[in-house]
Amino acid sequence: MRPVAVIAGAGPAGLTAALELLRRSDYLPLVFERDSQVGGISKTVNYRGNRMDLGGHRFFSKSDWVMNWWQDILPVADAAEPVTINYHNQNREFIPARRAASSDENVMLLRPRLSRIYYRRRFFDYPLKLSPATFSNLGWSEAARLGVSYARARAFPRRPEHTLEDFFVNRFGERLYRTFFKDYTEKVWGVPCAEISAEWGAQRVKGLSITSAVAHAVRSALGRGASGRQVETSLIEQFLYPRLGPGQMWEEVTRRIRAQGGHVTLDHSVVALDVDASQVRRVCVRDRASGESRWVACDAFFSTMPVRQLVEQLQPDDEEIARIASLLPYRDFMTAGLVVRRMSGATPRDNWIYVQEPEVKLGRLQIFNNWCPDLVADPDTVSLGLEYFCREGDDLWSMPDDAFLGFAAAELETIGLIRRADVLDGTVVRVPKAYPAYFGEYRHMSRVRGYLSSIANLFPIGRNGMHRYNNQDHSMLAARAAVDCLLDGSSDKSAIWAVNTEDDYHEGS
């Protein structure tokens, strides 16, 4: 009889684990997903033919294994020969798994990358470049003050570096931090940067700094590249992208899992666990439509559910572990998808825009036409995603959809990017627990991690599963490490938790 691996969640981590188990072992993966579609936060939401990419997902990784895994699932269009992809003067070559024409639907396309900061009704490069346009936007006197502030931070850095504010000030100077980082970051997390762990910056910004931005500008001017391990991924200028959005990748992975005998069951939640002798023996799964529950025996359990929920179901004897997990913080997320006739002036070429304007709550704006034209139902319209960061149950989250769409459109009009009269249609998407947060009881996360690692056949993976701000490639690498651990029969799970901690590896978004 085949051993069974139950997998909670059909996002990038869960689906990667399932397909790797089928490829490399005799395990039968049973994936249970509470949503009605696969992909997790990497799904594509289809609203009347307009496809929305929640959060924006560039298909770029410094892991060759991830890049090759992706292009094996969806080949690169027009890639009969090895395809060379340029990431800021860095050429990387990938050998296609099979031929694919640009007219095929199930392909990835090579897309240009542009994201900028919108501040004082002007666009600034992101990352900031020491260019005439930047100085002109800021004004030369303000640029000089920023330079003096940066020099002061380099000469007298904050030590020790405990908080995210310390992290940003040390790399950009206090004035630049307050101009371009503070407001946006606090919109995302809802707390001051001085209360967020510096670990967030270490995972999300890593080596990016004024120094790296200058080096980037110099290399561009001289036409010189850099080795793949030296280029910060926030500086990449191209990326791969599925023609119909990121969910297309995970829908194809799901098809392959099912074709190879695995199971992916939607609209089912894991609601209870049976643990005996440091092993997960059974998993209780509830059909969200009928309300009926059943127990499923398993030999291994891969969890992408929030750590708070996982620990609650495990019911640890240690009350402190239970308390810490119950108080782990999260940030929730809403997108207002608007279809408009046009934007005010020419439509920006950006994939996304960081909105730094303090008078609006809008955090980030996506222009889906620029991700891929095939995401938009009518090419004569513009499809936008207005991203808001909130807490489940707060005023934003609880706002009726029509009211929220009106609110979002009014904010975009306030900062001069659209006219409300040009809005044709819209929809709202809410994503609970989209961002595991790095403050509060997170400081004791190591204790929870130790407890989870003590359960031999339990493998927490993915963003929520590890309470770590992973991108989809990090989640895939954690899933691979977990499968390695299971198949090797190892009790050492440190490789899983080592993902997204190295300074030379980061996808960025």
211 part of a folded domain: yes
Q: Are residues 214 and 159 in the same domain?
A: yes
- Regarding whether 213 and 188 lie in a shared domain, the answer is yes
Indicate if 414 and 455 belong to the same structural domain. no
Establish how many alpha carbons lie within 13 A of residue 495's alpha carbon, considering only the half-sphere containing its beta carbon. Answer: 14
Q: Would you say residue 321 lies in a domain? A: yes
| Cα atoms found within 13 Å of the Cα of residue 124, Cβ hemisphere only | 25
Please provide the average confidence, as pLDDT, over all residues in the chain. 88
Give a yes or no: residue 344 inside a domain: yes
pLDDT of residue 140: 84
What count of other Cβ atoms lies within 10 Å of the Cβ of residue 356? Answer: 21
- Please state, in angstroms and rounded to a whole number, the distance separating the CA atoms of residues 28 and 149: 58
Of 194, 219, 244, which one is at a domain's C-terminal end? 244
Q: Quick one: pLDDT band at residue 459, thresholds 50, 70, 90?
A: very high
Q: What is residue 273's three-state secondary structure? A: strand
Tens digit of each residue's pLDDT (9 = 90 or more) over 466-489: 999 889 999 999 999 999 999 999
Half-sphere exposure of 481 (CA within 13 A, CB side): 20
Q: So what's the pLDDT on residue 232?
A: 46
Helices (H), 223-318: 246-259, 307-314
The angle that helices 12-24 and 472-488 make with each other, rounded to 10 degrees, is 40
Assess if residue 299 is contained within a domain: yes
Q: Kindly state whether residues 379 and 396 are assigned to the same domain.
A: yes
> Which of 68-77, 87-96, 178-187, 406-415 is least confident?
87-96
Residue that is written with structure tokens 């440091």 in the block: 278
DSSP 233: G
| pLDDT of 228 strictly over 50 | no
pTM score of the predicted model: 0.88
Q: Return the ∠ at Cα 226 (arms to 220 and 231), rounded to 5°.
A: 90
Q: E-assigned strands of 359-496?
A: 364-367, 382-390, 423-436, 458-460
State the pLDDT at residue 95.
Answer: 59
Segment among 51-65, 173-187, 214-228, 354-368 with least mean pLDDT: 214-228
Does residue 499 contact residue 479 with C-beta atoms inside 8 Å?
Answer: no
Report pLDDT for 167.
92
In this structure, what CATH number is given to the domain that contains residue 262? 3.50.50.60
pLDDT at 292: 98
CB within 8 Å of 470: residues ≥ 6 apart? 13, 462, 463, 478, 499, 500
Residue 137 inside a domain? The answer is yes
What pLDDT was estimated at residue 180? 83
Q: What is the DSSP letter of 112?
A: E
Domain with 77, as residue range(s), is 58-113+236-244
Q: Among the three residues 186, 204, 231, which one is the final residue of a domain in this structure? A: 231
Boundary-marking domain end, from 436, 459, 488? 436
Sign of CA dihedral 386, 376, 265, 68: negative
b/e map 51-66, b = 16+ CB within 10 Å: bbbbbbbbbbbbbeeb
Contacts of 305 (CB under 8 A, 6+ apart): 8, 9, 270, 464, 465
What is d(CA 99, CA 103) in angstroms, rounded to the nearest whole number?
A: 12
First-residue to last-residue Cα distance in the chain: 43
**Do residues 449 and 493 both lie within one domain?**
yes
Contacts of residue 342, defined as CB under 8 A and 6 or more positions apart, other chains included, come to: 382, 422
- DSSP state letters, 124-166: EESS---SHHHHHHH-HHHHHHHHHHHHHHHHS--SS--BHHH
Are residues 351 and 267 located together in one domain of the fold?
no
Q: Which of 338, 465, 460 minimizes the C-alpha distance to 405?
A: 338
Please, which residues bridge with residue 390 across strands? 332
CATH classification of the domain holding 337: 3.90.660.20
Does the pLDDT value for residue 302 go beyond 90?
Answer: yes
380 plus 420 within the same structural domain = yes
> What is the distance between the alpha carbons of residues 403 and 375, in angstroms, rounded to a whole number?
25
pLDDT-above-90 percentage for the chain: 70
Residue 284 lies in a domain: yes
490 within some domain: yes
Q: Is 417 helix (H, G, I), strand (E, B) or coil?
A: coil
Same-domain status, 254 and 321: yes
Position 82 scores a pLDDT of: 64
Q: Are 76 and 241 in contact (CB under 8 A)?
A: no
Q: What are phi and psi of 253, to 5 degrees?
A: -60, -45
Q: Confirm whether 121 is domain-assigned.
A: no
Q: How many domains does the chain have?
A: 4
Are residue 338 and residue 312 in the same domain, yes or no?
no
Give the range among 28-42, 162-176, 409-423 with minimum mean pLDDT: 162-176
483 and 334 share one domain? no
> Of 467, 421, 433, 438, which Cα lies nearest the Cα of 334?
433
Give the chain's length.
509
Confidence band, pLDDT 50/70/90 cuts, at residue 72: very high
pLDDT at 218: 41
Q: How many CB atoms lie within 10 A of CB 193?
A: 24
Please state the rounded mean pLDDT for residues 183-205. Answer: 81
What is the rounded distance in angstroms from the CA atom of residue 122 to the CA atom of residue 134?
10
Residues 450 and 319 in one domain: yes
Mark whether 93 and 142 lie in a shared domain.
no
Residue 222 predicted with pLDDT over 90: no
Q: What is the token pair recorded at 389?
A: 């960061």
